[in-house]
Amino acid sequence: MRESPLPPEFSELQGIVHYVRERIRGKEWSSSCPKCGGVPHSHGEFPDRFRMWTKAKIGKPFGWCRACDYKWTSERDYKPDPAKVEQWRQERIAEEKRIKEEAEQAIKLLTDSHKWDTYYSWLKADKIAAAYWTGAGITDEFWWGEWKLGYDPMHSFWFDGGERGWVEHRTPTATIATRDISGRIINIKHRLLNPFDGIKYRMEYKTNTEPVFIANLDLLKGADYVLKCEGEKKAAVTWLTFDSPKVQAYGLPKSPSDEMLEAIKGKIVIDILDPDIKDNARTREAYKDIDYRVLRLPMKIDDMILSARLTKEDLRGMMKQARRA
């Protein structure tokens, strides 16, 4: 994931905050916190605890940390320099164009090679490969092909090992194709069966395109009833257990963008939160105009389904307990 440039309004924080990401175009950014820090999550997502708004309700640029409640305002009244603003705007346009071109080239390479077919072939040839997805709760081989699941018995990754320099790490991986909201395959996600320094997930290519898992590929244009989960496996297992062709389930990154949240269409959205999620204010804001409900569970939903052997009736009953937010 590539950092976004800080807008001129927050130039005082240059070099102080890191992992900057533009969340709402031209309005809101996230990053590490100037006070309590923040590092990327184990799956590679940037920390997003510190939020920056160029046009806050207080009338000037404002920053706030969701973790430690630190509040930032400029030490001087911000007076934009038109020349610097225009320079930043032009640099931003050029950077966005370059990122888009790189992403499209990576997606073209992925599509032309059909790499997911190579990984899928291992599910037919290797008992260990098939056992992984069966053990994950996806036992019907039809869905292996529908969702482009797969396996790589020995994949090579390179990691920044700090003082050790760049380190090669080889491990078996379970693979799954990820898509954009239109359903186009944009990447392949690897789950490292032997993690590297706690890192469990890596992508096949750097496409700089936000991934989503879509369980019901027959409902790409939206559904009346939507199940929202964190991650692909949870969405897949939940949707299979719920067992309704009229229902959609999405598997999203831990910190989806506001654009991704707003792109998910449904009259009713059930947000199935992992136990460690305490604050879902952004999601509530994105779905304030629809019937948005939250289901909090004592364990991850796919683990609960498998360990308790939940049936369709069990799961549908649980969804009725989701509370309107």
The three-class DSSP label of residue 160 is strand
Quick check: pTM over 0.85? Answer: no
214-324 adopts what CATH topology? Dna Topoisomerase Vi A Subunit; Chain: A, domain 2 (3.40.1360)
Domain boundaries for CATH 3.40.1360.10 within the chain = 214-324
Torsion 191-183-41-2 (CA) sign = positive
Walk along the chain (325 residues) in steps of 10 and give the mean pLDDT of each run: 80 90 82 89 73 77 89 72 72 72 78 89 93 96 97 90 81 95 93 91 84 95 93 97 97 85 90 84 85 93 96 96 88
Torsion 278-236-198-256 (CA) sign = negative
For residue 308, what are the contacts with CB-CB under 8 A and spacing of at least 6?
Answer: 314
Task: Indicate the length of the chain as a whole number.
Answer: 325
3-state secondary structure 13-25: HECCECCCEEEEC
Domain boundaries for CATH 3.90.980.10 within the chain = 115-203
Which residues, in sequence order, are bridge partners of residue 225? 247, 268
For residue 230, what are the contacts with CB-CB under 8 A and spacing of at least 6?
Answer: 251, 252, 253, 254, 273, 274, 277
What was the pLDDT predicted at 38?
Answer: 87
Could you name the CATH architecture of 115-203?
A: Alpha-Beta Complex (3.90)
What was the pLDDT predicted at 34?
Answer: 92
Torsion 269-270-275-279 (CA) sign = positive
What was the pLDDT predicted at 57?
Answer: 65
